[in-house]
Structure 1
Amino acid sequence: MFKKKSSGRSLEREVITAVVTLYIIICVGLLAVHYAQPADQCTATSSTSPSAPADCK
C-alpha cells in the first residue's frame, strides 16, 4: 500500500546543487583573479583589440 520514495527527485536535487555550486566556485575564482591584480600593473597580452589600454602597449 505504501509507495516507495523515488530516488529521481533526490538525484535531480543533487545535480542541481552540484551545478549551482560549480558556478559559484567559478564566479568566486574569476572575481578573485580580477581583484588580485594590482591596478597599476599591465597585463601581458598579444591582443590587438582597441579596448586594450594604450599605455600598456
Structure 2
Amino acid sequence: MTPRKFRPASRAASQSSRQLEKGSAMKRSEINRCIAEAEAFFARNGFLLPRFAEWSPED
C-alpha cells in the first residue's frame, strides 16, 4: 500500500508550515486560525477531546 501524500486542510495551513520551515515565527492570528480549523475538523469527524482541551490560560 502506497502512503498518501500529506495535504494541509487549507492554503493558510500550508503557508504556515512553509514559514516554519524557513525559521520565521508564526503570528498569534495564524495559531488561532489553525486551532479553529482543528476544532472544526474534530467536530466534523466526531472526534471527542478531553474537557481540558477547551481550558483557557486562566484555568
> Where on the TM-score scale, by shorter chain, does this alignment land: which range?
0.3 to 0.5
TM-score, normalization: structure 1? 0.35
TM-score, normalization: structure 2? 0.34
Q: Which has the larger radius of gyration?
A: 1
